[in-house]
Amino acid sequence: MIIYVDADACPVKEEVYKVARRVGCDVRVVANSFIRTPMEPRIQFVLVDAGADAADDWIAERAGAGDVVVTNDIPLAARALEKTAEVISPTAKVFTAAMIGSALATRGLMEHLRSFGEITSGPPPFAPKDRSAFLSALDAAINRAKRKKG
């Protein structure tokens, strides 16, 4: 099992490391600029080429059944779900095949509104309760991934 982290704007990397150490799985921290990671054999930083979707492409090509992907990126979540990986956001949102179509449509609508100058609010500030919710969601995703892997 590997936990793939779409790391550029991920506020829960330390939580991922903590859980990965506890359950004994590998972590790939993927970004197109350097991010410091612990010097541990099971935690690897992957530097990808610059480009809007380079990190997403790298993760989507490798994640599969029995893996977990941590991302806020809805198109990446859709691609990972197609390969039957478990996908959660840093805010503990669980992406599923049943809801990803709706999430993609909402994302498209919001992009369209922004293109016309419509001001949309960003996410609320990350709070300690969000970290706790993420830890619970990550544990659940790991358990689902283990069942898929067999």
Give domain limits for the chain: 2-149
pTM: 0.85
Over residues 8-23, the pLDDT tens digits come to 889 999 999 999 999 9
Question: Confidence class of residue 31 from pLDDT cuts 50, 70 and 90?
Answer: very high
Task: Report in angstroms the alpha-carbon separations of 28 from 5, 7, 81, 99, 113.
Answer: 6, 9, 18, 26, 34
Write out the CATH class of domain 2-149.
Answer: alpha beta
| Dihedral over Cα of 110, 76, 42, 49: its sign | negative
35: CB partners within 8 A, 6+ apart = 7, 8, 13, 29, 45
Over residues 117-137, the pLDDT tens digits come to 766 666 678 888 899 999 999
DSSP annotation of 56: H
Averaged over 104-109, what is the pLDDT? 64
